[in-house]
Structure 1
Amino acid sequence: MFSMPKTITIAKNSAHPLTVNRLGYGTMRLTGPEIWGEPANRPEALQILQTAIATGLNFIDTADYYGEDVTNRLIAEALHPYPQDLVICTKVGATRRPDKSWVPFNTPENLRTSIDNNLRTLRQDQIQLVHLRLMGHGPVPLEEQLGAMFDMQREGKILHIGLSNVTREELETGLGLGPIATVENMYSYAQRTTVQLPHGANPGGEEVLDLCEQHGIPLIPFFSLIHGLPKAGNRIAEIARKHNATEAQINIAWLLHKSPWILPIPGTSSLGHLRENLQAAAIQLSSEDMAYLG
């Protein structure tokens, strides 16, 4: 069997490392259709968050542009005051227009506005981990965006800074500017490299995984279930039958076995699917399983 650590440490060489269990929860799916508006079933959304924490999950991913502000408010309502070991990770660098489009919000002033909004809606004095989401090659250089983030880190508003939706070149640039704690890119069994979406290109996790491993940086895959399963093919279905599991569970297990530096955050708006996702952490894939999956 592959060795699969149960925990992962964020910013392991810093003065304030954060160790979390190696399966988190992404809140994006808690919103309404098209990641906009309130959830269809608000009581279930709150119960999902409470159940996740009750079962030992202690890493939650959110953003103030989910909803907008819907997931942050749900997290605060369901979980505040927060357990001491809970790490809440948010994202800045983007916003939503009334037509539901995704656009950059990444000037230093924009980023400060987003951080202050996240602090307010999450009811926190400091955000433990913030991902700067890159929205293509816009007019604001990466150096300027990260400079504003490091300024707020020095002010104590942010503990650790990560990058999201980054190419290998952008990650290398970021590493040259300051400590990068985590990377959040699209990644799944079936979707490993760059994919074009309506709001732009999303670099894949495979393109940066080895660099993350070299620097001890956790890679946090997003959209791993949404974009992975329709293209997964027969092999993941065969392994799912072998382990009496769903294809979604095998996708999560594959990520956990692929590298000890991967921290999956599968999201769902269903309490039943949450329990299935949590069970995936117990699936032990053999070296033969992993070789067959490729």
Structure 2
Amino acid sequence: MSSILTIAPTSAQPLTVNRLGYGTMRLTGPGIWGEPADRPQALEVLKTAVANGVTFIDTADYYGDDITNRLIAEALYPYNKDLVICTKVGATRNPVDKSWPPFNRPEQLRQSIERNLRTLKQEAVQLVHFRVMPGAEVPFAESMGAMYDMQREGKIQHVGVSNVTPEELTAALGMGEVASVENMYSYAQRTTMNDGHGETRGGEVLPLCEQHGIAFVPFFSLVHGLPNAGNKLAELAQQKGVTEAQLNIAWLLHKSPLLLPIPGTSSVAHLRENLAAADIELSAEDMAYLG
């Protein structure tokens, strides 16, 4: 099992990362809104992650609102040269009801990119996923066109997509290079995902990613992956003396060399537990048993 992944390997600016990243969403306050309850620990989580080999951090300007980006800059700037900060655009937050409305018109996407650049103190976003949101009125192709426009302008190095169906990924590939996909994926949830906003989107995109050599960043793998995992994951975790959450991460790392898990937490202790999952070895027999 390789611990290294090169994102967009054929491009002029490939990104090489360790295959266990960190997702920042849980660093915010309740409901993914506002400042964290323990700001010093949130900063320490980010510092500890990087100190322990994490070179891929996932964020979004609509986390918080813009809280995780601020925390990243405060904890880690100036950034290590090997650190990749991946952000998302396509959504915003309603400060009244804390909902997640689409924000995917070309001028809105540009506004989000500028905000990310400003808060993260970057000249160009290294990797940005366009997130498909339910209820969006702007056609997918129009939003993607704006993303590629900003890439040509030098504001974005690499364009990715998030929460996409195989059909949408294919459409994006017809417009330009897709460096990565960020979709819900786990041991127990591989082909259909409920995005948390009342809409279910079907289709497994991993085979398509493997066909085209596209990095796949699974999100919510612990939140949605464990309740339905069944007895096999629990049994094998007990045999190996690890938690089910750790085994789920290990399964992702063994499932495909293109998978880049980003388990998130607001606890330094839990972060260390997640990172330890990278050391779990699963044999071919183990993977066959899990199915």
User: Normalization by structure 1: what TM-score?
Assistant: 0.96
For 1:186-197, list aligned pairs within 5 A.
186-197=184-195
Counterpart of 2:218 in structure 1 is 221
1:141-290 matches, within 5 Å, as 141-201=139-199, 203=201, 207-290=204-287
> How many angstroms does 1:34 deviate by?
1.2
For residues 150 and 196 of structure 1, the distance between their equivalents in structure 2, rounded to whole angstroms, comes to: 28
Per the alignment, residue 79 of structure 1 pairs with 76
**AA at the equivalent of 2:129:** H
Aligned to 1:102, the other structure's residue is in SS state: coil
Secondary structure of the residue aligned to 2:92 is strand
Stretches of structure 2 that go unaligned for 5 or more consecutive residues are none
CA deviations over 1:75-130 (Å, ceiling 9, x no partner): 00000000000000000000111211111000000000000000011111111000
Match of 1:33 among 30, 53, 66: 30
Does the C-alpha gap of structure 1 residues 82 and 202 become closer, same or farther in structure 2, counting only changes over 3 Å?
farther
Matching of residue 122 in structure 1 with residue 126 in structure 2: no
Tell me the equivalent position of 2:11: 14
Tell me how far 1:201 sits from its aligned partner: 2.9
Q: Which residue of 2 aligns with 1:136?
A: 134
Preserved CA contact (<8 Å) 1:35 1:67:
yes
Partner SS, residue 219 of structure 1 = strand
Q: Where does residue 59 of structure 1 map in the other structure?
A: 56
How far is the alpha carbon of 1:197 from its aligned partner? 4.4
- Aligned partner of 2:66: which letter? D
Q: Which of 103, 106, 125 is the aligned partner of 1:108? A: 106
Which amino acid in structure 1 is aligned with residue 267 of structure 2?
A: S
Q: Which whole-Å deviations, capped at 9, do the CAs of 1:128-168 have from their partners, x for residues lacking one? A: 00000011363211111111111111111100000000000
Native 8 Å contact 1:189 1:228 kept in 2: yes
SS at match of 2:101: strand
- Give the TM-score, by structure 2 length: 0.97
Give the letter aligned to residue 114 of structure 2. D
Q: How many Å separate the matches in 1 of 2:210 and 2:72?
A: 31
CA distance in 2, matches of 1:170, 1:230: 28
Distance 2:35 2:190 in 1: 31
Any idea what the Cα deviations from partners look like across 1:215-244, whole Å, max 9, x if unmatched?
000100000111111222211111111111
Whole-angstrom CA distance in 2 between matches of 1:142 and 1:36: 27
Q: Which amino acid aligns with 1:94?
A: A
Aligned positions, number: 290
Matches of 2:36 and 2:160 in 1, distance apart? 28
Instruction: For residue 95 of structure 1, give the secondary structure of its aligned residue in structure 2.
Output: coil
Distance 2:191 2:9 in 1: 27
**Aligned-residue RMSD, C-alpha:** 1.1
- Deviations 1:13-47 (Å, cap 9, x if unpaired)? 11111110000000001011111111111111000
Q: Secondary structure at the match of 1:103?
A: coil
The 2-side partners of 1:153 and 1:230 are apart by 39
Find the residue that maps to 2:227 and give its secondary structure.
Answer: helix
CA distance in 1 between counterparts of 2:87 and 2:200 reads 18
159-168 vs 142-151, greater mean Cα deviation: 142-151
Deviation per CA, 1:50-79: give whole Å up to 9, x if none. 000001110000000000000000000000
Matched, 1:68 2:79: no
